[in-house]
Structure 1
């Protein structure tokens, strides 16, 4: 973790334009109803003796969070007495709200959204209202920014998005947060384009039907919704030029450079340069140590059972990009694994590292 998260970003207040007024007043249900409705898996199972029913919030069914959470469910249930109820949600921002309200025990979120929430900054709903009970468990893999465009839309740079119709992701989602950060970095405000807000699968349908010109999709490649779209329609993925990437990185340090390899999606025959954030597992301070230890150990002792993003998920890298205070049971597990002594995130709430 690096020492200082940029203050310049706070001054710019990129996301005051998000306009998610009263988001957490909606009982933590930020954003549009997730794809497929209130999808849940595991709700009818009963835990074994000594186990608990664990609520695990994922994301939309067309992204990476939901299928990966399904794999975590299988691993945890095979190696502990607990049962995971995996829920489809609007992802990061909504998931933070559910953790704050103790309506979920664990959730997948983006590390930047976790930083905003814990420190009470960056987003209007967090500004001055830090989610001090939020705790980190582990970081997982890069969440790559995909900017999908219609081939006939004539979009060759971020600046070309001016005057177009752009789906920036579910209202209040981490995807929308990232999209508006990136567009602001090149001088585009929400007045400069027509914004649409849906989940990944619906965005794919909009692109295929010609209803939008571009869509931001954030997830570890390959993203299922993009794979499906690429098999049924011609798409382009916008290559972010070096100068724009550098501008993005200077504005928000939680971004990192990333590349979507050629051949990841049908019709994409060259590497695509872009940026990414980190996906991570979060919990809250009221979840007891034994449960956090059980879940953390089950996942990271059995990473060979993971197929989604398997090349990235490891105890050796589970502290990279940890952007806020960790749950003590998770910190203790990784200390035992020798994953680093700087990892606990518990040194001081005022010295959170990114």
Structure 2
């Protein structure tokens, strides 16, 4: 079974290299958990926490892939942070959530975008095998951002219209070790597909090519809609977004409490005119314990004091909602910002 082989390979890598080695296992990353293409910029020196030297103003921010939402949104954060603070942000394309936890754990990243469920697993040493009894105690929360929609996409000529049609299919569950892969496997288990499918692991953009070429039957994508790779696919092929609805949706939510109801509005993608019910997790900004409090507070303030300068996910990103779904302990710098903001609101 392909699923078993790829999962075993991932766990072998993690077991040999340790959690810090996760930063190297997703060079063709996926997830929005966006789909990385391995062409991210080189890492600059992360902030070292001593408050001195140029290293204190150069921060490394790990995003996701270029076909998802994490990477372009992170570059908008880069602009507002650099326009409003003394910090410079080096934004890297990565394999997103699980890989980014590893980057935070070993100090290669100062900030990263991850899913709230993956953050919970990492902090508590549970949930998925790579974190089981191997808690990443240094990870800290900054803010939650927007729902990360689970999109199950196929082409009309596959005949797949509901989850039960996936039995025996070839499915791209996202890049190996990504949050997308974790969510896909959780969903397939919850609705009774189990391991009765052939698993492929590749980025969103690569998955779109696989669908075009008939190499796979369906693909899971986790990201705020519209996802660029799906938009491109819909412009060249007749796509179907498979709903996660009714009893299936309830089963998924019963199996994992971090899933919430979500809907992809009709018209989001060419040829998909009706709303499609599904589920979502939450995107969030994370950091690590060693980043100075004033650094985290400054970066947090730059982003949330200048939300009007953003163009991506502006219907969701706000100071007022930035702790909704926060699944781990806040960094003291973020806590200071949001506490001050609440005080100002009360006094105002």
- Residue among 316, 329, 338 paired with 1:334: 338
Match of 1:317 in 2: 321
Match of 1:115 in 2: 120
Count of matched residue positions in the alignment of Structure 1 and Structure 2: 322
Match of 2:68 in 1: 63
- For the residue of structure 1 that corresponds to 2:235, the secondary structure is helix
- For the residue of structure 1 that corresponds to 2:11, the secondary structure is coil
User: 2:334, 2:159 → 1: CA distance?
Assistant: 48
User: 2:127, 2:107 → 1: CA distance?
Assistant: 23
Runs of 5+ consecutive residues of structure 2 not aligned to the other structure: 30-35, 46-52
Runs of 5+ consecutive residues of structure 1 not aligned to the other structure: 1-14, 341-354
Task: Note the C-alpha offset of 1:239.
Answer: 1.3
Match of 1:87 in 2: 92
Residue 217 (structure 2) pairs with residue 222 (structure 1): no
Summarize deviations over 1:248-301 as a string: whole Å, max 9, x none: 111111000000000001101000000000000000000001110110000000
For the 8 Å contact 1:135–1:325, the answer to whether it is kept is yes
Match of 1:52 in 2: 57
- Residue among 4, 14, 25 paired with 1:30: 25
For the 8 Å contact 1:30–1:93, the answer to whether it is kept is no
Q: Which has the higher helix share?
A: 2
Distance 1:187 1:313, change over 3 A: same
For the 8 Å contact 2:27–2:37, the answer to whether it is kept is no
- For the residue of structure 1 that corresponds to 2:303, the secondary structure is helix
Distance 1:17 1:248, change over 3 A: farther
Match of 2:185 in 1: 180
Match of 2:276 in 1: 272
Task: Note the C-alpha offset of 1:240.
Answer: 1.7
For the 8 Å contact 2:28–2:202, the answer to whether it is kept is no
User: 1:200, 1:283 → 2: CA distance?
Assistant: 25
TM-score by length of 1: 0.87
Task: Note the C-alpha offset of 1:22.
Answer: 3.8
For the 8 Å contact 2:161–2:240, the answer to whether it is kept is no
Match of 1:4 in 2: none
Match of 1:102 in 2: 107
For the 8 Å contact 1:52–1:82, the answer to whether it is kept is yes
- For the residue of structure 2 that corresponds to 1:143, the secondary structure is strand
Q: Which runs of 4+ in 1 moved over 6 A?
A: none
For the 8 Å contact 2:43–2:60, the answer to whether it is kept is no
- Over the residues paired in the alignment, what is the CA RMSD in angstroms? 2.2
- For the residue of structure 2 that corresponds to 1:145, the secondary structure is strand
User: 1:321, 1:70 → 2: CA distance?
Assistant: 23
- Residue among 21, 35, 38 paired with 2:11: 21
Task: Note the C-alpha offset of 1:223.
Answer: 0.7
Task: Note the C-alpha offset of 1:28.
Answer: 2.6
User: 2:111, 2:54 → 1: CA distance?
Assistant: 21
Q: Which has the larger displacement, 153-162 or 316-325?
A: 153-162
User: 2:246, 2:105 → 1: CA distance?
Assistant: 38
